[in-house]
Amino acid sequence: MNLFRRKSVTELQAEALTDHSLKRALGALNLTLLGIGAIIGTGIFVLTGTVAALNSGPAVVLSFALAGVASIFAALCYSEFASLVPMAGSAYTYGYATLGELIAWIIGWDLVLEYALGAVTVAIGWSGYFVSLLHDFGVNFPCALSAARGTLVACHDGTQVAAVFNLPAAIIIAIVTTLLVIGIKESANVNNVIVFIKGAVVVLFIIAAAHAINPANWHPFIPPAEGTGKYGWSGVMAGAGIVFFAYIGFDAVSTAAQEAKNPQRDMPIGIIGSLLICTVLYILVSGIATGVVPYRELNVPDPIAVAADRAGLGWMSTLIKFGAIAGLSSVILVMLLGQSRVFYSMSRDGLLPPFVNRVHPKFQTPYITSIVTGVVVAFFSAILPIRDAASLVSIGTLLAFVIVSIGILVLRVREPNLPRVFRTPAVGAVAPLGALSALYLMVSLSGRTWARLGIWFVIGMVVYFAYGVRHSRLAGVSGPTRPSGPPPRPLPAVPWAPPERRRRGASAVSRACRNLTKRVRSKVGLWQATSIKRLSSSSRHELERRSRSA
- Distance from first CA to last CA of the chain, Å, rounded? 83
Give 543's pLDDT tier (boundaries 50, 70, 90): very low
Q: What is the mean pLDDT of residues 525-535?
A: 43
* pLDDT of residue 504 exceeding 60: no
The per-residue pLDDT for range 67-88, each reduced to its tens digit, is 898 889 999 999 999 888 888 8
**pLDDT for position 188:** 86
Least confident of 208-217, 278-287, 525-534: 525-534
Instruction: Round to whole Å and give the CA distance between 490 and 480.
Output: 18
**pLDDT for position 173:** 95
* pLDDT of residue 214 exceeding 90: yes
Give the residue from 2, 7, 17, 3 showing the smallest Cα distance to 94: 7
Q: What is the mean pLDDT of residues 271-279?
A: 94
Give 538's pLDDT tier (boundaries 50, 70, 90): very low
Q: Which residue has the higher pLDDT, 497 or 368?
A: 368
* pLDDT of residue 279 exceeding 80: yes
Q: Are 133 and 321 in contact (CB under 8 A)?
A: yes
Least confident of 67-71, 147-151, 452-456: 147-151
Q: Are 380 and 146 in contact (CB under 8 A)?
A: no
**pLDDT for position 389:** 58
Q: Which residue has the higher pLDDT, 270 or 25?
A: 270
Domain range list for the chain: 26-120+186-331+386-445
* pLDDT of residue 522 exceeding 90: no
**pLDDT for position 79:** 93
* pLDDT of residue 289 exceeding 90: yes
Q: Where are the beta strands (DSSP E) in 149-201?
A: 152-154, 160-162
CATH code 3.20.20.60 for 26-120+186-331+386-445: no
**The model's pTM:** 0.76
For the beta carbon of residue 511, count every other beta carbon within 10 angstroms: 10
Give 423's pLDDT tier (boundaries 50, 70, 90): very high
**pLDDT for position 32:** 94
**pLDDT for position 131:** 86
- Is residue 433 exposed (0-12), middle (13-18) or buried (19+ Cβ within 10 Å)? middle
Strand, helix or coil for residue 256: helix
